[in-house]
């Protein structure tokens, strides 16, 4: 089936498809992506003005500002879930309504607030990731909406993808708009 324009706008780098076998090389690449994300996002939005930040990346989509705030919200949750799985036996995580979070008043704050937050969370997360044993990457948490136990190594890949996915929303918009 051919992808529609909306599909391409929603998933500019494609959907997350974890490898069948997650190797040490995958884990190292994903840790590097987590470590680099704050700078990559900063570079993507650094020269955008207020009107550009308040432009949706697709019809009926979030604005660039909301995307940046969403990444901070989502990655804070991921960081906490990672720590829970490292310190508890298969904890059940708390899902949240990300679309509703993106409508709360803090989603209208300057993007610099969430850029600082991403930088701090990712610095702490990277410190943990670089010191997580291969066996601990097999630890899991239970996701009640998905009804599945997720191993940390898969979650790491998902969030490495997640950062690239949302950054691509911003960079492809900039390219389409010739910003």
pLDDT band at 128 (very low <50, low <70, confident <90, very high): very high
- Reply yes or no on whether the pLDDT at 94 is more than 80: yes
pLDDT band at 3 (very low <50, low <70, confident <90, very high): low
- Reply yes or no on whether the pLDDT at 1 is more than 80: no
Q: What is the pLDDT of residue 37?
A: 98
Instruction: Give the model confidence (pLDDT) of 18-61 as tens digits.
Output: 999 999 999 999 999 999 999 999 999 999 999 999 999 999 99
- % of the chain with per-residue pLDDT over 90: 96
Hey, what CATH topology would domain 24-177 get?
A: 1.20.120
Q: 151: closest CA among 27, 34, 38, 25?
A: 27
Instruction: Give the model confidence (pLDDT) of 62-71 as tens digits.
Output: 999 999 999 9
Q: What is the pLDDT of residue 72?
A: 98
- Reply yes or no on whether the pLDDT at 140 is more than 90: yes
Q: Could you give the residue ranges of the DSSP H alpha helices within the chain?
A: 5-10, 24-45, 50-53, 64-87, 98-101, 111-129, 152-177
Q: Parse the chain into domains and list their residue ranges.
A: 24-177
- % of the chain with per-residue pLDDT over 70: 98
Largest CA distance in the chain: 49
- Reply yes or no on whether the pLDDT at 2 is more than 70: no
Cβ distance 111 to 65 under 8 Å? yes
Q: What is the pLDDT of residue 175?
A: 96
- Reply yes or no on whether the pLDDT at 76 is more than 90: yes
Burial of 126 (0-12, 13-18, 19+ CB in 10 A): middle
Q: What is the pLDDT of residue 5?
A: 86
């Amino acid at each position: 089936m051919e992808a529609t324009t909306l599909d391409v706008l929603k998933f500019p780098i494609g959907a997350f498809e974890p490898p069948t076998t997650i190797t040490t090389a995958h884990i190292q690449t994903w840790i590097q992506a987590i470590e680099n994300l704050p700078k990559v996002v900063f570079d993507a939005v650094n020269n955008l003005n207020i009107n550009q930040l308040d432009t949706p990346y697709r019809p009926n989509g979030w604005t660039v500002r909301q995307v940046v705030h969403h990444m901070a919200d989502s990655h804070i949750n991921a960081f906490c879930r990672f720590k829970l799985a490292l310190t508890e036996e298969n904890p059940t995580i708390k899902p949240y309504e990300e679309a509703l979070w993106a409508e709360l008043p803090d989603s209208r704050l300057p993007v610099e607030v969430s850029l600082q937050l991403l930088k701090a969370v990712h610095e702490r997360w990277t410190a943990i990731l670089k010191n997580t044993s291969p066996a601990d990457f097999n630890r899991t948490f239970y996701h009640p909406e998905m009804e599945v136990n997720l191993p940390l190594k898969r979650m790491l890949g998902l969030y490495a993808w997640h950062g690239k996915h949302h950054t691509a929303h911003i960079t492809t918009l900039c390219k389409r708009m010739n910003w």
